[in-house]
Amino acid sequence: MADLINSVLGGRWSLFVGWILPTFLALQAIAFLALPAFAGHVSVAEHFLGESITFRQVTILIVAAVAGVVLAALQSPLYRVLEGYVLWPRKLAEIRIERHRARRARLVARQQEVAVTNWGVKSGLLYQQAARYPANDRQVAPTMLGNSIRRFETYAGDRYMMDSQLLWNHLTAAAPAAAVSAVESARTNVDFFVCLLYGSAATAVAGGAAAILQGLTRRTGFAIGLGVAVTAVSYLLAVISADDWDTAFRAVVDHGRVGAAAAFGMQIPDDLNDERLMWRTLNTLVRRPYAYSESKNVPELVKTFRTGSRDADLVRSTTPS
């Protein structure tokens, strides 16, 4: 059924579920809980509430569709705020990063302690929580959602010295369709909760504005409380949903790297250290101007990996970046 709906929507099922649906839900809450307080002050609100329920629902759906498309286009900055990269004072970000590093260290120590005496559910839960952080402490982000996403963004670099962000299109072009589809589905789940978070925050703000105009009533108080509660829960669920995004992303890297290497005329070396050097070479070739690559002897390294030969002196003396 989901495949049928997806085909009808022309592949935009993720847009509908991830951005339009949560926007629609937030607008429904605002229209029911906060908008009546504006009726006596804003003519548009009074006119809207005076229309039939069918008209109101169609209007909300149209507004949700337009707003959902706009939010989807703005998803990068919306995510970056929640990840702690945008609108965060530098000092606060640094404090939060240190706290997350300390929390990860405590989780790892506690998990190892529990594993010695009782390798069971508790140990597994502690391991899962610690695994929501990047492998390298230097990559820790100021927020939990930022760390949940950063852990798989740095996976390819930590294991293979591959820049998966730089080579993402190469990876998705080569990875099995099922793996790529899994990433899209997992990303949609996180998108839903991220969009719902912003919509719930807007509901709380609208409820606060309504309380200023009309006074704190049961309806406006419920709007504020509901908005705050759903905002907090949505953030937590976004972090948890990122677990599936993590596993799907890693599968694309692991399966797609063979085809991505072939796109450059190379085969994955048998030795993992050679493979790491190969991806480091390709990172430089793709990211840097060719003149820079020449200065780092990248063309010769590319030739080495294409032919399958191993010039030990060349490999040892070349460190592309």
Q: How many residues does the chain have?
A: 321
Q: What pLDDT, on the 0 to 100 scale, is given for residue 95?
A: 97
> How far apart (Å, rounded) are the C-alpha atoms in residues 285 and 269?
18
Tokens (6 digits) for 270: 């048998």
Closest CA to 27 of 72, 52, 57, 55: 57
Q: What pLDDT, on the 0 to 100 scale, is given for residue 41?
A: 76
Q: How confident is the model at residue 123 (pLDDT cuts 50, 70, 90)?
A: confident
Q: What pLDDT, on the 0 to 100 scale, is given for residue 2?
A: 45
Q: What pLDDT, on the 0 to 100 scale, is given for residue 5?
A: 43
Which residue matches tokens 């200023």?
212
* Cα-Cα-Cα-Cα dihedral sign, residues 87, 91, 92, 95: positive
Q: What pLDDT, on the 0 to 100 scale, is given for residue 290?
A: 94
Q: What pLDDT, on the 0 to 100 scale, is given for residue 214?
A: 86
Average pLDDT over residues 178-183: 96
Query: Is the pLDDT assigned to residue 10 strictly greater than 70?
Result: no
Q: How confident is the model at residue 117 (pLDDT cuts 50, 70, 90)?
A: confident
Centre a 10 Å sphere on the Cβ of residue 128 and count the other Cβ atoms it contains.
Answer: 13
Q: How confident is the model at residue 116 (pLDDT cuts 50, 70, 90)?
A: confident
Q: Is the pTM of this model over 0.85?
A: yes
> How far apart (Å, rounded) are the C-alpha atoms in residues 171 and 258?
9
Average pLDDT over residues 173-191: 96
Ordered DSSP codes for 30-49: IIIIIGGGGTTT-HHHHHHH
Query: Is the pLDDT assigned to residue 19 strictly greater than 70?
Result: yes
Q: What pLDDT, on the 0 to 100 scale, is given for residue 1?
A: 44
Closest CA to 220 of 48, 50, 43, 36: 36
> How far apart (Å, rounded) are the C-alpha atoms in residues 6 and 49?
34
Range in 30-39, 73-82, 179-188 the model is least confident about: 30-39
For 152-178, b/e burial (b = at least 16 CB within 10 A) is bbbbbbebbbbbbeebbebbbebbeee
Centre a 10 Å sphere on the Cβ of residue 235 and count the other Cβ atoms it contains.
Answer: 19
Type of residue found at 248: A
Ordered DSSP codes for 115-139: HHH--SHHHHHHHHHHTTS-SSGGG
User: H helices within 264-311, ranges in order?
Assistant: 272-287, 290-295, 298-307
Q: Do the beta carbons of residue 132 and residue 149 sit within 8 Å?
A: no
Q: Do the beta carbons of residue 240 and residue 193 sit within 8 Å?
A: no
Q: Strand, helix or coil at 166?
A: coil
Tens-place pLDDT, residues 208-265:
999 999 889 999 999 999 999 999 999 999 999 999 999 999 999 999 999 999 999 9
Range in 119-123, 205-209, 228-232 the model is least confident about: 119-123
> How far apart (Å, rounded) are the C-alpha atoms in residues 210 and 49?
15
Q: What pLDDT, on the 0 to 100 scale, is given for residue 23?
A: 98
Closest CA to 297 of 311, 216, 39, 155: 311
Tens-place pLDDT, residues 55-110:
999 999 999 999 999 999 999 999 999 999 999 999 999 999 999 999 999 999 99
What residue segments make up the domains of the chain, in order of their start? 2-86+143-263, 89-141, 272-317
